[in-house]
């Protein structure tokens, strides 16, 4: 009994908040070890401001941040994609950092990445890496990567003979569907922040996706694991996915990446969402100057080289690609080229509520149970209902 009380007391004493800077992240695997290397470098050169990394599971990460930070229980810095910056900025959860950033510092990063972190005239973080979808191609099934959607569809007859598909991607998700949406000229949020969901272009994009499924070019309702299984088993000639897909590819499969094709119907390139993973500063950080110093170091060119080399991140520092080891990686240049044709992820708070209704709409249309027009109207109505107040 006594042992229990002692154990309980010991366990209950949370360690006193260390001085220094605390950074939360949701990295796993290679990205985590690369981040830890850069953090160790900081700690070696700045022992008076120790940096502590805390790994948080990805699913509850955003909720934890939103609830912990305003109560002072959150980190000083955290790594997250840019899509929630609008909501966090409005609720004063994150700190604008243009105070510390001068032109020289801003020149370090690529323009799309910088733009992704801008909201309401302020800069809200420093970018680590950009993420977008690209085309993964099985080189044993496809000789040259398709450059237009017609070429992509032309792969279908051959693949059908092996009970396979020309392309597999997470089609029931807005993120996976976005390349077609933007390629047809549709969008989700207008430039002035209002909803632009139910448009003819968006309907055309949905009809295109439906046609892919109906013609057997793409599987119905595929998700991440399914897409990986199909690619690995040779049942999908190409896949639309992001940098994370590399770890899912089994060892002996020959593959390469290529930029997304051009939509034959409109002549515009398929443009996925651009996600900028960045370091953001909590508005309640205790020592903001020290926190920025850490932010600065972790996004320096040296740290970027480590991340590009070890974790194959598409880092936002153009200078990092001059490093010989990084330059040898065949994958990174393709991702960088794709950057030219991306649409920044809308950051307005309304965007957060679009995902689930859009996903439901896509599900209905792809299964052939409904037509794009009605579904898009329903999505717009539902999101407007959430935004009522």
Partner 1 sequence: MIGESATPPARVNRADSTSGTRVPVLQRQLRDFAVAAAIALLIATVAFVAVRNTELRARQTELAMRTAEALVDWRPPLPTVRGVFVSPALPSKKHPMLRHRRIHDYDSAWRPLGGLSMDPTHTDDKLFYDAATRFEQLPALEMVEMMRDGSGRAIAAKATCTGPKKNCNVAIALTSPASPAPFPWLVIIGVLGLGAAIAAAGALIGNTAARAGMFAGVAVLAVPTMLWHAWIAATAILVIGAAVALAQRIQLTDRFATGLSKNRAALSFVAPAGAAMLVLVAVPFAIGIFMGFYDHHAGTWTFVGIDNFVEILSGGGRPLDDALNFWFILGVTVLWTLCNIVLHVSIGVALALLLSRKWIAGRGIFRMLLILPWAIPNYITALMWKGMFNGQYGAFNSILRAVGLDGVDWFTSWANSFAPNVATNTWLGFPFMMIVALGALETIPRELYEAASVDGASSWQRFRHITLPHLRPALGPAVALGSIWTFNMFNVIYLVSAGKPGNSTNILVTDAYRWAFERGERYGMAAAYGTVIFLILLLWTVFGTRMVRRKGDE
Partner 2 sequence: MNRRLARGAIAPRPRIHDTGRLATIIAIHVALILLVAIVLYPVLLVCKKAFEPGRHFALSASPIPDHLTTDHFKDLFGARGGHGELLFLRHALNSLIVALSTTVVGVVLSCTAAYALSRFRFPGRHAGLTTFLVVQMFPATLLLLPLYVILDKLGLLNSLAGLVLVYSTTAIPFCVWTLKGYFDTLPRELEEAARIDGASTWMIFRKIILPLARPGLAVTALFSFMTAWNEFIMASTFMTDESKYTLPVLIQSSVGQFSADWGLFAAGAVVTSIPVMIAFYVLQKYLVGGLTAGAVKG
Contact 299, 114 (CB under 8 A): no
Among candidate residues 56, 20, 51, 19, the one with its CA nearest the CA of residue 37: 51
Residues whose CB falls within 8 Å of the CB of residue 127, separated by 6 or more in sequence, listed in order: 109, 110, 113, 114, 116, 117, 276, 277, 278, 299, 316
- Closest approach, Cβ 237 to partner 2, in A, equals 20
| Antiparallel, parallel or unpaired: β 21-25 and 77-80 | parallel
In the structure encoding, which two tokens stand for residue 175, read together? 């993120």
Among 185, 216, 349, 373, binds partner 1 (CB under 8 A): 349
Nearer CB in complex with partner 2: 122/360: 360
Among candidate residues 229, 144, 133, the one with its CA nearest the CA of residue 176: 133
Query: Is residue 215 part of the contact set for partner 1 (CB under 8 A)?
Result: no
Nearer CB in complex with partner 1: 102/328: 102
Among candidate residues 86, 35, 80, the one with its CA nearest the CA of residue 62: 80
- Closest approach, Cβ 110 to partner 1, in A, equals 12
In the structure encoding, which two tokens stand for residue 266, read together? 């409109």
Nearer CB in complex with partner 2: 232/266: 232
How many residues belong to the site for partner 1 (CB under 8 A)? Answer: 43
Query: Interacting stretch for partner 1, rule CB under 8 A, among 118-126, 191-199, 248-256, 311-319?
Result: 118-126
Contact 75, 38 (CB under 8 A): no
- Closest approach, Cβ 337 to partner 1, in A, equals 23
Interaction partner, residue 58 (partner 1, partner 2, none; CB < 5-8 Å by kind): partner 2
Interaction partner, residue 102 (partner 2, partner 1, none; CB < 5-8 Å by kind): partner 1
In the structure encoding, which two tokens stand for residue 208, read together? 């295109």
Question: What residue spans of the chain are helical by DSSP H?
Answer: 2-12, 29-45, 58-68, 85-90, 103-107, 111-116, 149-154, 156-161, 174-183, 200-214, 224-232, 288-298, 301-311, 324-328, 331-339, 355-366, 372-386
**Can you give the binding site for partner 2, defined by CB under 8 A?**
1, 4, 7-9, 11-14, 24, 28, 36, 53-60, 63-64, 67-68, 71, 73-74, 224-225, 228-229, 244
Query: Is residue 71 part of the contact set for partner 1 (CB under 8 A)?
Result: no
- Closest approach, Cβ 66 to partner 1, in A, equals 7
Nearer CB in complex with partner 1: 246/283: 283
Interaction partner, residue 71 (partner 2, partner 1, none; CB < 5-8 Å by kind): partner 2
Q: Convert residues 216-255 into a mask of x (bound to partner 1 by CB under 8 A) and - (unbound).
A: -----x----x--x--------------------------
Q: How far from each other are the two terminal CA atoms of the chain, in whole angstroms? A: 54
Query: Is residue 118 part of the contact set for partner 1 (CB under 8 A)?
Result: yes
Torsion of CA 140, 146, 150, 152, to 10 degrees: 40
What part of residues 13-32 is at the interface with partner 1 (CB under 8 A)?
none
Query: Interacting stretch for partner 1, rule CB under 8 A, among 144-152, 155-163, 339-347, 357-365?
Result: 357-365
Contact 156, 215 (CB under 8 A): yes
Query: Is residue 63 part of the contact set for partner 1 (CB under 8 A)?
Result: yes
For the packed helices 200-214 and 355-366, what is the interaxial angle rounded to 10 degrees? 50
Residue numbers at the binding site for partner 1 (CB under 8 A): 63, 66, 70, 87, 90-93, 96, 98-103, 106-107, 114, 118, 121-123, 221, 226, 229, 288-289, 292-293, 296, 349, 352-353, 356, 360, 363-364, 367, 382, 385-387, 389
């Amino acid at each position: 009994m006594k042992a229990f009380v002692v154990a309980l007391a010991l366990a209950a004493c949370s360690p006193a908040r260390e001085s220094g800077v605390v950074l939360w992240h949701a990295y796993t695997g290679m990205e985590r070890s690369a981040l830890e290397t850069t953090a160790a470098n900081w700690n070696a050169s700045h022992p008076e401001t120790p940096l502590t990394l805390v790994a948080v599971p990805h699913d509850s990460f955003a909720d934890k941040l939103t609830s912990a930070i305003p109560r002072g229980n959150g980190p000083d810095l955290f790594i997250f994609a840019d899509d929630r910056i609008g909501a966090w900025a409005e609720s004063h959860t994150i700190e604008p950092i243009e105070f510390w950033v001068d032109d020289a510092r801003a020149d370090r990063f690529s323009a799309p990445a910088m733009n992704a972190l801008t909201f309401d005239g302020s800069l809200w973080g420093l970018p680590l890496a950009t993420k977008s979808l690209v085309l993964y191609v099985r080189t044993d099934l496809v000789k040259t990567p398709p450059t237009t959607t017609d070429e992509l569809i032309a792969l279908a007859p051959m693949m059908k003979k092996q009970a396979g598909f020309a392309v597999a991607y997470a089609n029931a998700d807005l993120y996976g569907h976005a390349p077609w949406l933007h390629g047809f000229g549709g969008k989700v949020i207008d430039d002035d922040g209002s909803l632009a969901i139910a448009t003819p272009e968006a309907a055309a994009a949905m009809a295109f996706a439906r046609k892919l499924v109906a013609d057997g070019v793409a599987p119905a309702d595929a998700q991440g694991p399914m897409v990986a299984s199909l690619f690995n088993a040779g049942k999908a000639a190409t896949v639309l996915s992001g940098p994370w897909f590399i770890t899912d590819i089994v060892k002996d499969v020959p593959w390469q990446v290529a930029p997304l094709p051009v939509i034959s119907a409109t002549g515009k390139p398929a443009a996925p969402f651009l996600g900028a993973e960045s370091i953001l500063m909590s508005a309640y950080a205790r020592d903001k100057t020290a926190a920025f110093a850490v932010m600065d170091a972790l996004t320096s060119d040296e740290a970027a080289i480590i991340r590009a080399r070890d974790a194959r991140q598409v880092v936002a520092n153009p200078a990092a690609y001059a490093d010989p080891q990084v330059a040898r990686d065949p994958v990174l240049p393709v991702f960088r080229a794709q950057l030219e044709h991306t649409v920044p992820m809308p950051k307005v708070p309304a965007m957060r509520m679009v995902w689930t209704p859009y996903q439901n709409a896509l599900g209905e249309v792809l299964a052939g149970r409904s037509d794009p027009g009605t579904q898009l109207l329903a999505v717009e109505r539902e999101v407007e209902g959430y935004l009522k107040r």
